[in-house]
Amino acid sequence: MLIFTKLRGTSTTESIFRPAALVPAFRCETWVGDVVRGLLRHVPEVLVVDDGSDDATSEAARAAGAKVLRRLVNGGKGTAVRDGLAVLLAGDCTHVAFVDGDGQHDPDDLPALLSAARRGADFVIGSRLGSPDGMPSRNRRANEMGDKVLSRMTGLPVEDGQSGYRVLSSHLLRQFRLTASRYAIENEMLIRAAPRVRKFEVVPIRSIYATGHRHYRPFRDTWVTSWLSVHYKTTGSDES
């Protein structure tokens, strides 16, 4: 476990702790129902953003108990995340848990991330690198390369910065604007949040690659997102 606390102050959690889960999903009808049911064991609200799927993703998520925001056209993971945040941050949740909808994240790992948030961490990443048995070696090498870039850019001890499994406080999320439309959303979130983070934690999660499907291409997309990270850091412009 990695913990980073800025000297300028310590983070405190709200007296009311009400997390909500945000699940971006594209063609995830096979897995999203199990994801939603698992998450509802740990959080009171799950919002699934169906990013223009042409299958029964929305129906499966709704049947499992999720609120569903359906996009008519696929816009990429970042777009789905941004649309979901607009809904959740307009409500009363104190924290947002980001969980992928394709079965790559174990909902029963979420309590560890939520515990870190309860202890005052306003940015928590679930890292697969502490127990990478199920992770293909090319994914691990690509993640390590990206982590070096992100750690230098943010000043945070980033581990598995491309992990979509994370928890951020709503207070922190309201302090910056995200613009990425695709997988660079994870990097952009770290870069935008870094100057404002008071307490940052990394907690271990399981690495699951036996189920689900991946649209992410490890080396190509790590290279692209690393360059986009420089773009966000230096210009603050939209993703191209």
Query: What pLDDT is stored for residue 210 in this prediction?
Result: 58
Poorest-pLDDT segment among 38-42, 165-169, 177-181: 177-181
Q: Is the CB of residue 200 less than 8 Å from the CB of residue 141?
A: no
* Distance, CA of 205 to CA of 130 (rounded, Å): 8
At 129, give phi and psi (nearest 5°).
-80, -20
pLDDT, tens digit, for every residue of 184-237?
A: 899 999 999 999 999 999 999 997 865 555 555 554 454 454 545 555 555 554
In DSSP terms, 5 is beta-bridged to 199
Query: What pLDDT is stored for residue 147 in this prediction?
Result: 87
As a whole number of angstroms, the longest Cα–Cα distance in the chain is 49
More confident residue, 119 or 4: 119
CB atoms near residue 152 (< 10 Å)? 11
Query: What pLDDT is stored for residue 195 in this prediction?
Result: 95
Task: Tell whether the torsion through CA atoms of 144, 145, 146 and 149 is positive or negative.
Answer: positive
* Distance, CA of 194 to CA of 181 (rounded, Å): 20
Residue 171 pLDDT > 80, yes or no? Answer: yes
Angle between helix axes 185-193 and 218-234 (nearest 10 degrees) is 30
pTM of the model: 0.85
Q: Indicate the length of the chain as a whole number.
A: 240
More confident residue, 153 or 45: 45
Q: Is the CB of residue 23 less than 8 Å from the CB of residue 43?
A: no
Instruction: Name the residue with tokens 């969980």.
Output: 99
Task: Kindly list the strands in the beta sheet with 45-51, ordered across the sheet, starting from the edge strand earlier in the chain.
Answer: 2-5, 199-204, 123-127, 166-169, 95-98, 19-25, 45-51, 67-71
Written as one letter, the residue type at 21 is A
